[in-house]
Amino acid sequence: MDWDKLRVFHAAAEAGSFTHAGETLSISQSAISRQVSALERDLNVPLFHRHARGLILTEQGELLYRTTQDVFMKLASAEIMLADSKDKPSGDLKVTTTVGLGAGWLTPRLGEFIKLYPDIHLHLLLFDDDLDLSMREADVAIRFAEPTQNDLIRRRLFSVHYHVYASADYVRRAGHPKSLEDLDNHRILTYGGVPNPLRQINFLETAGRNGSVERQPALRINSIYALKQAVQLGIGVAVLPD
């Protein structure tokens, strides 16, 4: 059935006359009459008894009116809910990020988000591998690298800076490196595993080597969080994001 004809029929049934229905829809009385007549031809049933005083629904018209009334009420309800959703977000939200970023940066900030948006049910998915947003594996992804999916909406959240870290205990035992070349005499800890979203984090392997053989790390860990713990425990020297 044609939606425009149903809309006109519903307005005529509500108004009780083609004239009043035309005023409601801002179209002419003759246009209302033509649309209703066309709908009656499509359905092959009369929908109104036409009288000088107005319109009376036939039995078939009553059935169609009840159906269209239910549809219009549901549409009105959906319109209200959609309008409310603009001001008050709600529903499930799946957010994915790396294990290190999720544990060290995102999780401490979730309390404020939940207070601001109590009707959002948050699912935090921590994976170092990328999830496919186009397949609805997640709704939002926070990553260090550019996405490979070109149709995603992207926003820059922050810049990452890198620093060389060692624990006070390690420096007491092994000494403080005075130059990049001194790193040859220290235990280097690096980030390992594939994929590596922090491409610059392992520059201690080549810093000061001038194209010669890379330094071999004493320990390679595929978790930023675990790498930080290793530094805090005095195992060696590593580059970590701030």
Q: Using DSSP, how many helices (H) and how many strands (E) does the chain show?
A: 8, 9
Q: What average pLDDT does the segment 191-212 reach?
A: 73
Residue 73 has pLDDT above 90, yes or no: no
Confidence (pLDDT) at 123 = 94
CATH number, span 162-241: 3.40.190.10
CA distances from 38 to 1, 32, 122 (A): 11, 10, 50
Write out the residue limits of the CATH 3.40.190.10 domain(s) in the chain.
91-142, 162-241
Beta bridge partners of 221: 191
CATH number, span 3-86: 1.10.10.10
Name residue 208's amino acid: G
| Secondary structure (DSSP) of 3-63 | HHHHHHHHHHHHHSSHHHHHHHHTS-HHHHHHHHHHHHHHHTS--EEEETTEEEE-HHHHH
Percent of the chain with pLDDT over 90: 33
CATH architecture label of 91-142: 3-Layer(aba) Sandwich (3.40)
Write out the residue limits of the CATH 1.10.10.10 domain(s) in the chain.
3-86
Q: What average pLDDT does the segment 142-150 reach?
A: 79
Q: What average pLDDT does the segment 68-83 reach?
A: 83
- 91: region left, alpha or beta (phi > 0 left; psi from -120 to 50 alpha): left
Beta bridge partners of 189: 219, 238
DSSP-based three-state secondary structure for 72: helix
Q: How confident is the model at residue 98 (pLDDT cuts 50, 70, 90)?
A: confident
Task: Please give the model's pTM, rounded to 2 decimal places.
Answer: 0.55
Confidence (pLDDT) at 80 = 77
Confidence (pLDDT) at 1 = 73
- Provide CB contacts within 8 A for 19, sequence distance 6+: 29
Is the model more confident about 196 or about 152? 152
